[in-house]
Amino acid sequence: MKLSAEMSLYPLQEEYEKPILEFIEDLRSNPELSVKVNTMSTQVFGDFDVVMGELKKAMKKAFGQELARILVVKFINSDLNPE
């Protein structure tokens, strides 16, 4: 099954850019995923199990930091990749 996810990460700290960029790079590390970034969100497209597996790893790493983070995600069980 194909999955599309749109997410926004909000690190609750003054230096918020670095954790966001690290989160995106963690998702981009898997060549099976298509990752699109815009000014408001990151979109990930791929096989359900691959998307969820990589998202789980990236979330665990991001949430393992000392400061709090909020992750807002929307999922659709379809491939909405604009490519």
What domains are there in the chain, each with its CATH number? 2-76 (3.30.70.930)
Query: pLDDT, tens digit, for every residue of 43-58?
Result: 999 999 999 999 999 9
CA separation for the pair 46, 67 (Å, rounded): 30
Model confidence, pTM? 0.91
Is residue 66 predicted with pLDDT exceeding 90? no
CA separation for the pair 67, 65 (Å, rounded): 6
Query: pLDDT, tens digit, for every residue of 8-49?
Result: 999 999 999 999 999 999 999 999 999 999 999 999 999 999
Is residue 65 predicted with pLDDT exceeding 90? no
- Residue 74's pLDDT is 98
